[in-house]
Amino acid sequence: MSSETKPIPHPSVFVDKKRLELIKGYRVHEKRTPAKPLPVTPSQTLGPFFSLGLIREGDDDLAARAVGGPRAEGLPIYVTGRVLDEDGKPVRKALVEVWQANCRGKYEHPDDVTPQPTDPNLKAFGRMLTKDDGSFRFRSIKPGAYPNPGYDNWMRPPHIHFSILCAGVMQRLITQMYFPGEPLNDIDPILNGVEDLEARALLVAKELGRNEQGETGYEFNIVLRGKAETPFMLDH
Ligand code: FE
């Protein structure tokens, strides 16, 4: 290390959870129960016809707005993985929803006021049901890093947001998938907010190499519970 190079402080030194709470959308905890009891809506069966209309053709391809339409800018990728329970058994028909920024780190959302352009061809949102072996797969482009305004403009590493809903889970589980070998991973307060190193490593996908379509593959498994549980974050 040269004399001018300052060592990067360990994330736990600079992660200030109180300040993190000030950022819109990144509250780390909140009161989740009403002040007084409310009458409970009775539950009823879901019925067999829910999922068909919920998943449409092309929902597993974030890199095109329409099936067969022009592709979004950026490194083509696919992400595959399995949703597993604590015993490693596959969870079938789990609803996996994903969303991400474009290759320049821009979300197509009114709250994203960064100056980067949006990509007219990027759908950026996807939705899949896991198969009988618990697997899911979607196509996309690698998202870019982006500054987080309001908190020292720290650069968030490339990541894909995940939401998982399945039988027996009363509230959706949310987490983020990171890409291996990204220097920003080492200094991201949200990723490094997972203090257990082994658990933190579970959030970094494994690179699988390139397929015949020229897409770089990533494996990201989601474990709902137990020792190898994927770190989940609070919903907001
Ligand atoms: Fe994000």
What does the alpha-carbon distance between residue 166 and residue 85 come to, in Å, rounded to a whole number?
11
Walk along the chain (236 residues) and give the pLDDT tens digit of each residue.
444 556 555 444 445 566 666 665 555 555 667 778 888 888 787 776 766 678 899 999 999 999 999 999 999 999 999 999 999 999 999 999 999 999 999 999 988 888 999 999 999 999 999 999 999 999 999 999 999 876 677 899 999 999 999 888 878 899 999 999 999 999 998 999 898 999 999 999 999 999 999 999 999 999 998 888 898 887 65
How close is the Cα of 157 to the center of ligand 1, in Å? 9
Q: What is the CA radius of gyration of the chain?
A: 19
Phi and psi at residue 54, to the nearest 5°? -85, -30
How close is the Cα of 105 to the center of ligand 1, in Å? 9
> What DSSP assignment string belongs to 80-145?
EEEEE-TTS-B-TT-EEEEE---TTS--SSTT---SPPP-TT---EEEEE--TTSEEEEEEEPPPP
What does the alpha-carbon distance between residue 54 and residue 83 come to, in Å, rounded to a whole number?
19
How close is the Cα of 75 to the center of ligand 1, in Å? 18
Q: Where are the alpha helices (DSSP H) in the chain?
A: 11-14, 17-20, 50-54, 197-201
How close is the Cα of 149 to the center of ligand 1, in Å? 12
SS3 218: strand
How close is the Cα of 159 to the center of ligand 1, in Å? 6
Give the residue numbers marked as catalytic. Answer: 107, 146, 156, 159, 161
